[in-house]
Structure 1
Amino acid sequence: MTPITNDVFLKTLKKESTPYTPVWMMRQAGRYLPEYRKTRKHAGSFLDLCKNADFATEVTLQPLDRYPLLDAAILFSDILTVPDAMGLGLHFVDGEGPKFHYPLIDEQAIQKLDVPNVEEDLGYVFNAVRSIKTALNGRVPLIGFAGSPWTLATYMVEGQGGTGFLNIKKMLYSRPDLIQHILKVTTESVSIYLAKQIEAGADAVMIFDSWGGALSHHEYESHSLNYMKVIISNLNLMGFEDTPKIIFTKGGGQWLDLQSQSGADALGIDWQTDLGNARKVVNDKIALQGNLDPAILLSEPKAIRSAVRNVLDSYGHGESHIFNLGHGITQFTPPENVECMLDEVRSYSKKYHKA
């Protein structure tokens, strides 16, 4: 395999010395880039984009070609590919986002839910990983990813995103046996899915727990975090102990201490959490990733540079911080504002590193 030329991201996950703070962005290949919009139009649909290795490779590399200061690439795909492989009928409605034709709304459908043939049904994802790795040619590491079992379950039961989670919470409290079945099947599926991504060439993997913050304090550990811990443990048992693993619970700042004991190598931090306080909570036992408010990129250069410095100052000296947004970049972001952010991260962060 081609050696990675820029391995600052991976070194940071291993707490090794680096000359600056590495940076990548959640949703860094997306609608804010005109070249992405052009490719998506040519592909025909979002799912067609995901399922075609050439298109997926093209859009994964677009932000890297535009922004040489990025320190990692992330696979272009979607967290809902796993439930789609389970037969729930994923589709995207313009202006409304992802929906399922066959959500899990009755007991019989839930009892029938089973682990898909991951290698066959999601082979297009692994083809994309291999294609992207070849195209990167060692430029930067490639991040693979999946949705957390709880987050996937919310979409599978609600049938779409952006809901009040009333259906799944009703099921959680009234039929915990059904929720446990969904979460167990999804956990096994995601474990295999991430393992196959690593085998195909992913250098690190991330679990997106987008809706973990919707759980009550007493339910978060039992219904979200514990299943992510199982995935991490499964990957280690499969022989991928050395592959760095990142977990990110949006709205999960109050559970950082629990998350730091998950076995993950890094925790994603959203913009509502103070990065300096988060560092104190985890006591440098684990790397932290984040946590600029994505909305700041809608402003102007002076405000962006100031916000970047605030994040870096909040973390302070040390080798275990990956700069990122506190959530995905918005589609309305001017591309030149991203360049401003990246330039400030690279130049300003050097003062906090020995190397």
Structure 2
Amino acid sequence: MVSTTQDAPLLLRAARGESVDRPPVWMMRQAGRYMKAYRDLREKYPSFRERSEIPEVAIEVSLQPWRAFGPDGVILFSDIVTPMPGMGIDMDIAEGKGPIIHAPLRTQAQIDNLTPLNPDESLPFIKTILKALRQEVGNQATVLGFVGAPWTLAAYAVEGKGSKTYSVIKGMAFSDPTLLHQLLSKFADAIAIYVRYQIDCGAQVVQMFDSWAGQLCPQDYETFALPYQQQVIQQVKETHPDTPFILLVSGSAGVMKQMASSGADTISVDWTVDMAEARAILGPNIGVQGNMDPGVLFGSQNFIRDRIHDTIRKAGNHKHIMNLGHGILPTTPEENAAFFFETVKQYRY
């Protein structure tokens, strides 16, 4: 299902590098706790896995910000660990704490026992959700897929949960790298299968979140994160060369240059890097997304407008998707989120 240039939605055209009259805009975590509609739904479905894996609930959550604010991107409401059970990894997502892996992967036997991902069997709800989102938004918005990157999935799988130090996976990386490389490659193969599945089910652009790769120094990023980002993207591009790929690394200032060689079409830039500097590092052929500090949305409307315009000017009028540098914060006033979207949509190059 490929849109022609004439009827393709704005974000898809910008991600492809086509000429557009304003930057498209969406917001990471745009479906979430800052919206009253989401909090009300969460009371009825307290488990994150319920909200993301029951199709009618996930569809509703994904569409809440689109109905409220009309962003140019509607992203699948999901979590990066969603495919793990399909690989034989027992996990849950604890409210306010994130993923919990019940038996962290730390031995050769555990890694050998991982099963290849078959999304039709283990993730059938994804197809239902993405097809419904495409049908609902038509060409008024771009439907984005959502996956985690190998290093970040491995960090959760080995640590067993989120971490501030990542000492367990770094211990494996530096004392038994062969074991970790096996795990990273298995995750890369599974994620590539999952990305292809999402595209086949309706995703028009896919964002891969390497949330914890910014915890690596550049040398270790090149060893343990970058090759597996490349493995995913290369495999996807072999079968789906025309689907734009966005890569996000949190805290990416130190590895921006390395990210440019990932194969991603667009790099999501956080607020630790000036957008003009990011453009200079990445060069003219790679798109940029971002990179406003989510904290700006607690400022006055004039302040928010000035920061938006500054970001857009620095990004230039080619291959830029306006976004925050990371997810919108839970206590953000909804009216400020609405102002963010409206300000970008009124902008003209």
TM-score with structure 1 length normalisation?
0.93
Instruction: Give the 3-state SS of the residue equivalent to 2:145 in structure 1.
Output: strand
Distance 2:319 2:101 in 1: 39
Report what 2:79 is aligned to: 78
Distance 2:96 2:73 in 1: 29
- 1:267-297, CA deviations, whole angstroms, 9 ceiling, x for partnerless residues? 1001101110111112211110000001111
Q: What is the identity percentage for the equivalent residue pairs of Structure 1 and Structure 2?
A: 35
* Correspondence list, 1:337-348, <5 A: 337-347=336-346
Distance 2:163 2:39 in 1: 23
Instruction: Give the 3-state SS of the residue equivalent to 2:225 in structure 1.
Output: helix
Q: Is the 8 A contact 2:80 2:147 kept in 1?
A: yes
Report what 2:44 is aligned to: 42
Q: Is the 8 A contact 1:115 1:186 kept in 2?
A: no
Report what 1:286 is aligned to: 286
Report what 2:131 is aligned to: 130
* Correspondence list, 1:43-122, <5 A: 43-68=45-70, 70-122=71-123
* Correspondence list, 1:189-268, <5 A: 189-238=190-239, 240-268=240-268
Distance 2:181 2:20 in 1: 42
Using a 3 Å threshold, how does the CA distance of structure 1 residues 298 and 176 change in structure 2: closer, same or farther?
same
Report what 2:312 is aligned to: 312
- 1:72-115, CA deviations, whole angstroms, 9 ceiling, x for partnerless residues? 11011110112232232222333322211121133322332232
Q: Is the 8 A contact 2:130 2:198 kept in 1?
A: yes
Unaligned runs of 5+ in 1: none
Aligned-pair CA distance for 1:343: 2.1
Unaligned runs of 5+ in 2: none
**Post-superposition, which runs of at least 4 consecutive aligned residues in structure 1 deviate over 4 A?**
1-6
Distance 2:200 2:94 in 1: 33
Q: Is the 8 A contact 1:54 1:131 kept in 2?
A: no
- 1:24-77, CA deviations, whole angstroms, 9 ceiling, x for partnerless residues? 011111111111112222234110111111111111111011002x11110111
Report what 1:16 is aligned to: 18
Report the more deviating stretch, 3-12 or 204-213: 3-12
Report what 1:331 is aligned to: 330
Q: CA RMSD in A?
A: 1.7
Number of equivalences: 347
Using a 3 Å threshold, how does the CA distance of structure 1 residues 163 and 115 change in structure 2: closer, same or farther?
farther
- 1:226-266, CA deviations, whole angstroms, 9 ceiling, x for partnerless residues? 1111111101222x000111111112233333322322211
Aligned-pair CA distance for 1:6: 6.5
Distance 1:225 1:93 in 2: 29
Using a 3 Å threshold, how does the CA distance of structure 1 residues 138 and 42 change in structure 2: closer, same or farther?
farther
Q: Is the 8 A contact 2:9 2:139 kept in 1?
A: no
Aligned-pair CA distance for 1:3: 5.8
Aligned-pair CA distance for 1:200: 0.4
Instruction: Give the 3-state SS of the residue equivalent to 1:81 in structure 2.
Output: coil
Report what 1:301 is aligned to: 301
Report what 1:188 is aligned to: 189
Distance 2:51 2:95 in 1: 15
Using a 3 Å threshold, how does the CA distance of structure 1 residues 81 and 59 change in structure 2: closer, same or farther?
same
Q: Is the 8 A contact 2:48 2:95 kept in 1?
A: no
Distance 2:133 2:16 in 1: 24
Aligned-pair CA distance for 1:186: 0.3
Q: What residue identity is the alignment partner of 2:147?
A: A
Q: What residue identity is the alignment partner of 2:276?
A: G
Q: Is the 8 A contact 1:113 1:182 kept in 2?
A: no
Q: Is the 8 A contact 1:6 1:71 kept in 2?
A: no
Report what 1:274 is aligned to: 274
Distance 1:55 1:6 in 2: 27
TM-score with structure 2 length normalisation?
0.94
Distance 1:95 1:56 in 2: 18
Distance 2:22 2:237 in 1: 29
Q: Is the 8 A contact 2:297 2:332 kept in 1?
A: yes
User: 2, 9, 14: which one pairs with 1:7?
Assistant: 9
